[in-house]
Structure 1
Amino acid sequence: MKCQKHLFTLSEDITYLNGAYMSPQLKSVSEIGITNLLKKEDPSSTPPQDFFSSRVTLKKRFAQLIGASDYTNTAIIPSVSYGIANAATNIKLQKGDEIILVEEQFPSNYYSWKRIADQKEAKITLIKPPKNFRERGKIWNESILAAINSKTACIAMAQVHWADGTLFDLKAIREKSLQFGAKLIIDATQSLGAYPFSIQDIPVDAVICGGYKWLLGPYSLGMAYYNDSFNDGIPIEENWMNRMHSEDFSSLTRYESNYQDKASRYSVGESSNFILTPMLTRAIEQLIEWQPAQIQKYAATITTNCIESLQEAGYLIEDDKYRASHLFGIYLTENHDMNTIKRKLAEHKIYVSYRGEAIRVSAHIYNEEKDLELLSNLLTE
């Protein structure tokens, strides 16, 4: 795979290594957004069937991306917090049950669990990373596995840690969770689209994903997958389109007690969004064409030399056996000064993120090895 920067509109004056913050937009996605924005000038160009057809197309494309056999197990959501709230609301918890979370995971995958745990008198168990960087990812995964027991009702975590790219062994965690009948809920926002994932390989209970990062879509729209165990759940809102026979506009006031099939009940109101929905569809189609496995391979190719140089200079970075290639965190030692680094990177217009104690670097198909070389040269001079 070759660099695809020509498909984006990124300035040559900047070095953008910050896709984990927000992806740049594909030109093709922008074109679809503009076209659909202008359609609102003439509402007669939007027939009633358009309220439903674009939703189905997006759900089918997302199902294809994650290897889900049935697109009706997917839902259109406005945010990760919305998707997580639907999952948390429908988890069966008893007093004394445990919910396992990873320490310092993104807050949208914490607050709903904390609220439901407090309501049900359940316990939140946070699994901390080891302080020693030697085999850090391996030990962290072992700690998660060891924590799963007969009291575990749910494990809610990411595939890739949002701050430093640590990979979690979801296959092993899924196997252990099934032994105790525990749910596994995944926030895939920092991995899906850039790192391979398939429901067929890892049959988790739910996958929640924001659309504006590695899915390359617009802000305020994301996707979710809920397996059949959620088919009888209660959604956090009651939208008319999520009920049976809502396609018949003439009978909408004949109130319907039944929902549309499976996870359709969990889609956000106005998910037909005539601008954003086609944009996210186009972005996912491009990812399907590229294939996340190839994106991951490309990211490894352009980041390897940079990471080795930084490690030789004393920076701490998760070993590549336990880390994704598209996202990695650089931790400083006493020999490095964060303020000096921030100033240098700003002066050279290199865009990264600062998350906790890590400098988060995230590379994609629009980057080249020279972008990472510039970063490593500045940090090691």
Structure 2
Amino acid sequence: MPNPARPTAQELPCQRHLFEVPEAVSYLDAAAWSPLPRVVHAVGETGLLTKSRPWDHPREGIPAQVERARTAAAGLIGAGPDDVAIVGAVSHAMAIAARNLAPIPGGRLLRVADEFPSLRFAFDRLAAAQGLTVEEVARPPDGDWTAALLAAIARPGAPPLALATLTPLHWTDGSLIDLDRLAPAVHATGAALVIDATQAVGAIPVDVARWRPDFLAFPTYKWALGPYGLAFLYAAPHRQDGTALDEHVGNRPAAVGARRYDRGELNDPVALPMAAAGLELLAGWGVPAGAARLRGLTDRLADALDALGLEIAPRNLRAPHILGVRRPGGLPASFVEGLRRERVFASERAGALRLSPHVWVNDDDLARCVAAIRDGLGGRGGAA
């Protein structure tokens, strides 16, 4: 295992007791979706009773749950409740964003290569309608996405930047995309900025006041410890008078702020209380404290897997909570399936083994994960 001399993050103790994760299971796949905390599970079961026995649960109480979830989501990103819409998915949020942007015709739409589809498809349509050139920055050989994007923004002779659709890290392997440096560079050009914070909110600090995006979205089913089928959309104040995708009584033009973009059938008695419970749990222990713990976990994994000869980005180029691991010559066929047989759960994305621990992961999980990887590679580590 890693060098014990390196201090581990103790700001937040392991929270496994809050989850239903068996001791024999090493679940390092929060970037795919997280297990529900026990309290979130319980809130969901209570919510089901509202629909199962509606005579016992007056509907008049549901709007308060809507605003509870909205307030919790806003607080986690440094926004106010009026700046946040409740939508069904990040793809829904991005469709709203694309519908309400009018970038300079003939300009550039900038993004990274191998971006997640929900951050591509709606903006591909926008680019075609507005005559934008789509520029995908290739994966840099040195792993420094931030430097590559800064160079692309400032490239002499390029069409003017009209829109940047970015994330705080690459979803495939946790490679850092430093929005603290990139957001000011985008704003300096006058371009719009849209952020998909799917792989960030709940795991690392996110602050819309610092990044000043036109739109930012995240779901609850990954790092935010909530249900599937629910997401939140932040809209900057100057973007709150646009056109929603669906029209209903709750989001007519008189709606306050970003509520203009709220989805239909908003008063969900199951998903919204679950989302609020998960978000409040995160806020209660503090996202920075959680991020410090996750950094300790991924650092220790990196040390152990580097000793096996596997390829791992330098610490300063990777996000705290996702570790991408590559092997010269590629991973063996069915490698992830082999890990699952050992009760170690992770994902393979774009040729990388993506390890994404959350606050339930403990020392035994790390040891079991490293042993399963070593055994899955035939004990040879990075040897092809």
Fold in common (TM above 0.5): yes
Instruction: State the partner residue of 2:45.
Output: 34
Over 3 Å counting, the alpha-carbon distance change for 1:283 and 1:90 in structure 2 is same
Question: 1:97 deviation in Å?
Answer: 2.0
Instruction: State the partner residue of 1:115.
Output: 125
Structure 2 distance, partners of 1:147, 1:296, is 34
- SS at 2:154 equivalent: helix
Q: Is the 8 A contact 1:317 1:330 kept in 2?
A: yes
TM-score scaled by structure 2? 0.89
Instruction: State the partner residue of 1:66.
Output: 77
User: Please, which of 152, 161, 164 is the counterpart of residue 155 of structure 1?
Assistant: 164
Pairing of 1:152-191 with structure 2 (within 5 A): 152-191=161-200
Over 3 Å counting, the alpha-carbon distance change for 1:98 and 1:259 in structure 2 is farther
Question: 1:369 deviation in Å?
Answer: 2.6
Structure 2 distance, partners of 1:316, 1:140, is 20
Q: Deviations over 1:147-177 (max 9, x none)?
A: 5976212111211211110111112221112
Please tell me whether residue 298 in structure 1 is matched to residue 293 in structure 2.
yes
**More divergent stretch after superposition (230-239 vs 72-81):** 230-239
Instruction: State the partner residue of 1:3.
Output: 14
Instruction: State the partner residue of 1:333.
Output: 328
Pairing of 1:48-127 with structure 2 (within 5 A): 49-68=60-79, 70-127=80-137
Instruction: State the partner residue of 2:273.
Output: 278
Q: Is the 8 A contact 2:108 2:159 kept in 1?
A: no
Percent sequence identity is 28
User: Please, which of 318, 322, 333 is the counterpart of residue 323 of structure 1?
Assistant: 318
Instruction: State the partner residue of 1:356.
Output: 350
Structure 2 distance, partners of 1:56, 1:187, is 22
Q: Deviations over 1:33-68 (max 9, x none)?
A: 101101223323444533422211111111111111
Instruction: State the partner residue of 2:148.
Output: 140
Structure 1 distance, partners of 2:103, 2:337, is 48
- SS at 1:277 equivalent: helix
Aligned residue pairs total: 363
Q: Cα RMSD (Å) of the superposition?
A: 1.9
Structure 2 distance, partners of 1:14, 1:291, is 26
Q: Is the 8 A contact 1:109 1:156 kept in 2?
A: yes
Q: Deviations over 1:279-315 (max 9, x none)?
A: 0000000000121111111112222222122223221
Question: 1:211 deviation in Å?
Answer: 1.1
Instruction: State the partner residue of 1:248.
Output: none
Structure 2 distance, partners of 1:46, 1:151, is 55
Structure 2 distance, partners of 1:92, 1:308, is 47
TM-score scaled by structure 1? 0.90
Q: Deviations over 1:48-92 (max 9, x none)?
A: 533422211111111111111x21110001101000000000111
Q: Is the 8 A contact 2:331 2:351 kept in 1?
A: no
Please tell me whether residue 375 in structure 1 is matched to residue 369 in structure 2.
yes
Question: 1:141 deviation in Å?
Answer: 4.1
Instruction: State the partner residue of 2:5.
Output: none
Structure 2 distance, partners of 1:368, 1:146, is 44
Runs of at least 5 residues in structure 2 that lack an aligned partner in the other structure = 1-11, 380-384
Structure 2 distance, partners of 1:196, 1:282, is 18
Q: Is the 8 A contact 1:99 1:123 kept in 2?
A: yes
Question: 1:231 deviation in Å?
Answer: 1.8
Structure 1 distance, partners of 2:146, 2:76, is 28
Question: 1:119 deviation in Å?
Answer: 1.7
Q: What code does the residue aligned with 1:311 have?
A: D
Q: Deviations over 1:202-253 (max 9, x none)?
A: 222211101100111000011110001212211111121113xxxxxxxxxx
